[in-house]
Amino acid sequence: MSQSKKSKGDWLLPSFEIAPNTSHIKKRSSTDDSCSNKMNVEDDICTDPKRKSSNNLAALLMTCEPQQPSELAISRQKQKTIQEWLDSINGSPKALVLSGPSGCGKTVALKLLAKNSGFDVIEWITPVDQAMDENNRVMRQGERFEDFMVRATRYNSIFSKHSRRLLLVKDIPNVYLVEKDSFSDVLQKYFEMAREPLVFVVSDSGSSRLMQTLFSENIRKAFKLDVISIGAATATSMKNVLKRVSSILNLKGGHILNVTQENIDEILSNGIGDVRSAILNLIFISLKVPNNESHSECTVREESLGLLHGVGRVINPKRIPDGDSWKFVHDPDEIASLFQSQPGVFLGFLHGNYLNTIGGMDEAATCINILSLSDTLISEWRDPNLGRVALSYCIRGLMVTNEKPVSGWNPVRKGQHDDRTLQRDLGAAELRWYESRILSKTQKSENSVSVAEIEGIIE
Amino acid sequence: MVRFFFKLLYFFVGVFNYLLLLEKMSLWVDKHRPTSLSKLDYHTEQAKHLKNLVQESDFPHLLVYGPPGAGKKTRIMCIIRELYGSGVERLRMETMHFETPSQKKMEIMTINSNYHIEVNPSDVGINDRVVVMDLVKTVAQTHQIDSTGQREFKVVLLTNVDQLTKDAQHALRRTMEKYVATCRLILCANSTSRVLPAIRSRCLGIRVPSPTIPEITSILNSICKREGLNLPDKLATRVAEASGRNLRRAILMLEACKVEQYPFTPEQNITEPDWQVYLRETAKLMVKEQSPSKLLQIRGRLYDLLIHAIPCDLIFKVLFQECVKYCDLQMKMDIAAVAAEYEHTMIRSSKAIFHLEAFVAKFMAIYKRFMDLSAGDFM
Amino acid sequence: MQAFLKTGKLGAGETNKLPGSSSKEQRQLPPTPWVEKYRPKTVDDVVEQPEVVEVLRQCLSGIDFPNLLFYGPPGTGKTSTILAAARQIFGDMYKERILELNASDERGIQVIREKVKSFAQLTAGNTRHDGKPCPPFKIIILDEADNMTNAAQSALRRTMEKESHSTRFCLICNYVSRIIEPLTSRCSKFRFKPLGREKIVERLSLICKEENLQAENDVLVKVYEASSGDLRRAINCLQAVARLKGKGAEVTVDDVLEATEIVPDKWLDELLEVCESKDYGQAEAFVERFMTECYSTTQVIEQLNQKVLYSSTLTDNQKALIGEKLGECSYRSLDGCSDYIQLINICCAIMQAYKLSS
C-alpha cells in the first residue's frame, strides 16, 4: 500500500485530516506551499505503535476508492450524463454545477470519470494562511480564488501525464456567500479569460442553500451553467459499495479490522444515502478491540441501536409468553431511552413506517391517534420533559396496539420532511393559482393579438 | 417626409399597444378594485359610517374583520385614501430587516406609501413579536414630513392579525397605547376569535360580512360591462354560487372562465382550483376502501398538497366536508367531533401531516365499522 | 386632568387669535377617550360602592389609610376610585405622589425591586403646595396585579412592609385568588360589585346629553346588556357608535349590536331551530351562511351558553351535554382552530342532545 497507489489524494480526507499530499494533482499553482505543509498525521486510533506505518487508516481508506466506473455509487444514468458533459468539452470555457446530498459520491465520480477521459483535475482548496502578493499586501480570499480560476490552468504540472485539465471547486470561499455579485463577476472573468472547463461540486443539504443563493436561476441562465443533480445513493448501490469495500478492507487491513456481515447490516440500517459516512462507520465499527482490554472493563459494550433498528423493534413488536400473560422481547422503555435526544426525529420515522406492519384499519386509526397526540405533546416547548413522556407513550402505544404485526419485507424509510410553517393564507393561495392560470393563457393570446394589430396597422 | 411621419405614428401606436398590454396584465381583481369609499358596491351604509369616522378629528385604531374575499382590504385602502388623498396610491415595495434578541436576522416584505405601511407579520412565524414592536416604533418615531393639511399620524396596516402569536398580540397592545400620538394601527383579520380581547377593546371593530349572491352577480355584471364583455345572467349566478360568497374568488373564477372560453355560454364549465378536485378524489378513495395500504396512498396525496403550499386548515375543512357526504347522521356527528379534535391538535403542533392522517384514519375506521355492521344486518 | 381639559377648551376658542403656535399645540393634544373624560372626579361621584367610599371619605378627612386591595370584575370603577381619592387628597401634587403601573408596563421582579423601591424611598411632606395639610405618604397603584408573576409579588411583600411609613400600596385586580396570600393579608380588601342596570343607564344618558347624542332609553338598556355590568365597556361601546354615526345622530339598537360584536338573537334562535330539525344538511348550510357574517365564534358560544342555560325546554341532561361541548369548543377556538369545524361540532352536539329527548 504505497503512497503512489493513492491516485487522488483527498477522497474521504476531510474527516481524517490526513493528507498525503504529494500526489500528481496540482493543488494551486500560485500558493502551493500553503497546502503542502499540511500535517501528515498518522492515525492514532490504531493502538499498536509497531505497525504504525502499514496501519495507516488513511491509506486503508484510499484502497476503498472505486477504480472502475462500475464501482461508483451513483447510477449508470448519471454517470453517462457526466461522461457526456466531459466529452462535449472542446477547449472553450464551460462550467458545470454538480449537486447532490453530501456523501453520495459526487466528487469521486467526477474525478474517476475525468481521469478516464484524460483530464487532470486541479482542485481549489481554500487556503487557511495568508498569502502575500508581490507588493507584500495580504491577498483577500476572493482575489486568490479569482487568481486560481483564471490562471491555474496556464502552467503544466510536471507530474501530469494528461494534456487536458479540469478545474474543480468544492469549497467556495465564504466571501461569496455574502457578496453574490462578486461571484458573478468572477464567473464573468472566468468565461472571458480562462480556457479550461470548470466544475462546481455543491452539496445541497437542507441547511445550505448554495444552490439557491450562488447558483440561482439567473446566474445559471446568464452563464449557461450546466447542472447535473445526483440523488442520494440507493440502498442497493450502498450495499454493493459496502460489499466491495468490505472485501478490500478484510484483505488489506485484516490485522486491525474484522469486517463482518453483521457490521455491514448495521451500517446499512443506519446510514441512508451517504456512502462516505457509511464507509467511515464501517471501519470504526470493525476495528478489532484488543482482547485483553475488552475483557477487563468493556465486556458489555453499550448497545448502540440504529435509528432504523429502533423503528423496526417498535413497529414489529415481538412478544414472549411470561406466565399467564406476556411481555415484549424489547422493553419499550429501553427503546425510548435510546432515542431521548431526538424524539421528534424518531417520531417522524415511526410515522413514516408504522403502516407497513399494521393489519387492520382500527389499529391503524389508534396508532395514528397516538402519534398525533405525541406530536402535540412534543410541540409543547414549555416543558422539556414532555418530549420524553411523549416518546415513551408513543412507543408503548404503538407496540401494544399492534398485536399481530404483518410480516413481510418492507424497507424502513425515512419519514418525509414536513418542516414548512403552517400555511394559512387561503386568499394568497387562491390568488396565486388563478393568476398563474389566467396569465399563462392571456400572455399567449394577448401577444399574438397585439403583434397582429401592429402589423395590420403598418400594412 | 410623410413616410417618416407615418413611421413615427406606427411607433406611437406600438408603444400605446404595449402600454395597453401592461394594463391588461393586471388581474380584474386589482383592476376593478374601487378606490374610494363612495364607490363601494355593497355595505353602503357602513361606507357612510366610515366616511363619518374619517372626517372626525380623532381617528381610532381599527380592527377590520370579515371572511376571506369580503372586501376588507379594499375598504381599508379606501379609508387610507380618504385620510390622505391620492398620494397613498404611490406604493413601494421594501424589505425591512429585523433582529431578534437572539441575534437572528429576519427580513419581511412591506408595501408602503408616504403615509402608510403594510405588513403581514405572520410571515415571520414565531418571531412576529419583534417585528410588530420594531415596526410600530420606527414608524411612530418618524414624523410626517409635511403635516400641512394632513393627519399628524401615519397608518400601520397589519394583515392576518389573527395569526399573530399571543406574545405578539400582548406586545401590540402596549405599543398601541404608547405611540397613539403619531401612528394608528389598522388591523385586518379573518375572525376575531383569535384576537385577544384586550386588543379588541382598544380598537373600533368594523365587521365586513360577505356580499350576498345578488350583490356579487351585479358586481360581476358591471365588471363585464367595463371590460366590454357580454355576461349571461345564468353564468353570473353560477359563478357567484360557486364562489361561496367570496367576491375575490368569484372575480378570479370569472376571469378564468373568460380565458377558457369566450363568448360565454350559460352552461360553461367553471374552473375550480385544482386542489378542490384533488381533495374530492381523495375523499372518494377514503370511502372506496379502508385499509392501511390505502391510508399510505392517501398520505402521499396529503404530502402532495402540503408541498404545494395549500393551507392545511383548508385541506382539513374540504376533506371534512367531502367525507361527511358519505355518512348517515350519527356518523356525521361522530366525524364532526373527531375532526374538531384533530384540527385542534394540528393547530397546537408543528407537523400537520400527523393530524390530517389521524383524521383520515379515524374516518376510515368509523366508516369501515359501519359498513361491516350494515353488511352483517343485511345478511 | 380637569384643569387640563378646561384649558384645552379655552384654547379652542382662542385659536383664531394665535394662529401659529397654538393651533399646533392644539393638534398635539391626544383625543380623550370618553372613559377618561367621564371618570369620577371625587370619591363621592363613585357609583354604587358604599364601603369603599366610606373608608376613603374618612381618609380624606386626614386619618391614615391602610394598604388597599381592590378586586372585582372589570369596569366597576376600581381604578377610578383610587385615582379620584388621590386627586382629592393631594390636589395639585397628585402627579408627584402617585406611581401607577399596569400590566402593560414591564413588571418583572426587577422593576418591582428598583422602580417601586426608589419611588417608595422618596419622602413626602405633610403639606400641599397651597398650604393645606395632606397625609405624608405616597401612593403606588399596581393595576391588574393578578397578572404579576409570583416572584414579583413576593418581592413586593418585603417592600410593602419596609416602606409602610411613607407609602401606601393599592393593588387592583380582577381575581383576588391570583394574589399570593402574604400580600392579601397585608391589605384591606374591598370587593367591587358589578354595577346595576339603573346606574349604568343613568350614567350613559348623562354622557349622551353631554356629547349631544340622541339615544332612546331602550338603546341604552341594550348597551347595558351588552356590557354585562362593565361601565367602561358600555362607555367605549357608546363612543364607538358615536364615532361611526357622526355627531348628533340618532343611535339605534342595531348600531349597538354592531359595535359590541353581539350576535343578534335571530341567529341563535335559528341555530337551535336547525339543530332541532336534526337535519345535518340544514345545519351545514346554516353554518356556512353564518360564517359569511363573520361573528366571533367565542361570542356565539358565550351567548349560546346563556341561552341553553336558561332554556325552559331542555332537560338538565341535555344542558349538561351541550355545556360540555361548548366548553370544549370554546377552548379550542381560543387556541385558534377553524371556526367552521368547531361550529359544526357544536351543532352536532346539540342535535345529539335533542335526540335524547325524542
pLDDT one-digit tens code per residue, C227-273: 777 888 888 888 888 877 776 667 777 777 777 778 888 888 898 88
In this model, does residue A203 exceed pLDDT 60? yes
Confidence category of residue A139, pLDDT binned at 50, 70, 90: low
Nearest Cβ partner for C30 among B174, B180, B329: B180
* pLDDT for position C239: 82
Examine the domain organization and report whether C122 and C177 are in the same domain: yes
In this model, does residue B322 exceed pLDDT 70? yes
What total number of domains does chain C contain?
Answer: 4
Name the residue with cell 392560470. Answer: A437
* pLDDT for position B148: 54
What backbone torsions phi and psi does residue C110 show, to the nearest 5 degrees? -65, -45
In this model, does residue C210 exceed pLDDT 80? yes
Query: For residue B213, what is its C-alpha cell?
Result: 349572491
B-chain residue closest to C349, CA distance: B333
* pLDDT for position A458: 47
Examine the domain organization and report whether C250 and C269 are in the same domain: no
CA distance B92 to B314: 31
Torsion of CA B177, B178, B184, B187, to 10 degrees: -60
For chain A, what percent of residues have pLDDT higher than 70?
59
pTM for the whole structure: 0.65
CA distance B213 to B221: 12
List of chains touching B (3+ CB pairs within 8 A): A, C
- Model pLDDT for residues A7-27, shown as the tens digit of each residue: 444 444 343 333 444 444 444
- Of the candidate ranges A413-422, C112-121, C313-322, the one whose mean pLDDT is the lowest: A413-422
Nearest Cβ partner for B52 among C240, C244, C259: C244
Interface contact B239, partner A, CB < 8 A: no
- Of the candidate ranges A40-44, B90-94, B351-355, the one whose mean pLDDT is the lowest: A40-44
Examine the domain organization and report whether B221 and B202 are in the same domain: no
Which of chain A's residues have a Cβ under 8 Å away from the Cβ of B337?
A: none
* pLDDT for position A25: 40
Provide the shortest C-alpha distance from residue C342 to chain B (in Å).
6
Q: What residue spans of A76-140 are helical by DSSP H?
A: 76-87, 106-116
Identify whether B12 is part of a domain: no
Which of C191, C221, C251 is where one domain is finished? C191
- Of the candidate ranges B360-369, C127-136, C213-222, C233-242, the one whose mean pLDDT is the lowest: C127-136
- Of the candidate ranges A102-111, A149-158, C31-40, the one whose mean pLDDT is the lowest: A149-158
Task: Please give the full DSSP string across A131-186, using - where no structure is assigned.
Answer: -B-TTSPBPPHHHHHHHHHHHGGGS--SS---SEEEEEE-S--THHHH-HHHHHHH
In this model, does residue A286 exceed pLDDT 50? yes
Which of B197, B226, B260 is where one domain is finished? B260
Helix axes B329-348, C339-357, angle to 10 degrees: 140
Which whole number is the average pLDDT over A242-246? 79
Examine the domain organization and report whether B190 and B294 are in the same domain: no
If one compares A431 and C210, the residue with the highest pLDDT of the two is C210
Which whole number is the average pLDDT over B227-244? 86
Confidence category of residue C97, pLDDT binned at 50, 70, 90: confident
Examine the domain organization and report whether B245 and B329 are in the same domain: no
Classified as helix, coil or strand, C191 is: strand
CA distance C308 to C330: 15
Examine the domain organization and report whether C180 and C59 are in the same domain: yes
Rounded mean pLDDT of chain A?
68
**Neighbour tally for A177: CB within 10 Å:** 14
Confidence category of residue C324, pLDDT binned at 50, 70, 90: very high
For chain C, what percent of residues have pLDDT higher than 90?
3
Query: For residue C13, what is its C-alpha cell?
Result: 376658542
Domain extent for B286: 274-374
In this model, does residue A257 exceed pLDDT 80? no
Provide the shortest C-alpha distance from residue C95 to chain B (in Å).
19
Which whole number is the average pLDDT over C328-350? 87
Helix (H) or strand (E) holding A120: strand A119-124
For chain A, what percent of residues have pLDDT higher than 90?
0
Domain extent for C92: 35-191
Which of chain B's residues have a Cβ under 8 Å away from the Cβ of C231?
A: none
* pLDDT for position B5: 59
Examine the domain organization and report whether C179 and C88 are in the same domain: yes
Contact A450 B273 (CB under 8 A): no
Provide the shortest C-alpha distance from residue B254 to chain A (in Å).
10
* pLDDT for position A76: 80
- Model pLDDT for residues B148-159, shown as the tens digit of each residue: 556 778 888 988
In this model, does residue B202 exceed pLDDT 80? no
Interface contact B103, partner A, CB < 8 A: no
In this model, does residue B93 exceed pLDDT 80? yes
* pLDDT for position A4: 41
Confidence category of residue C323, pLDDT binned at 50, 70, 90: very high
- Model pLDDT for residues A311-364, shown as the tens digit of each residue: 877 878 888 887 777 778 778 888 888 777 777 778 888 888 888 788 788 888
Examine the domain organization and report whether C141 and C124 are in the same domain: yes
Examine the domain organization and report whether B55 and B199 are in the same domain: yes
Which of chain B's residues have a Cβ under 8 Å away from the Cβ of C347?
A: 336
Examine the domain organization and report whether C169 and C72 are in the same domain: yes
Do B169 and B196 meet the contact criterion of CB atoms below 8 Å apart? yes
Examine the domain organization and report whether B186 and B218 are in the same domain: no
If one compares A92 and B43, the residue with the highest pLDDT of the two is B43
Do A146 and A30 meet the contact criterion of CB atoms below 8 Å apart? no
Examine the domain organization and report whether B318 and B367 are in the same domain: yes
Considering only CA atoms, which of B210, A101, A182 is closest in space to residue C292? B210
Examine the domain organization and report whether C48 and C130 are in the same domain: yes
* pLDDT for position C326: 92
* pLDDT for position A99: 79
If one compares A100 and A445, the residue with the highest pLDDT of the two is A100
In this model, does residue A53 exceed pLDDT 50? no
Examine the domain organization and report whether C149 and C205 are in the same domain: no
Examine the domain organization and report whether C277 and C343 are in the same domain: yes
Classified as helix, coil or strand, A289 is: coil
Examine the domain organization and report whether B241 and B342 are in the same domain: no
- Model pLDDT for residues B116-142, shown as the tens digit of each residue: 888 888 777 667 778 888 888 888 777
If one compares C66 and B356, the residue with the highest pLDDT of the two is B356
In this model, does residue C132 exceed pLDDT 60? yes
Query: Longest Cα pair distance anywhere in chain A, in angstroms?
Result: 100
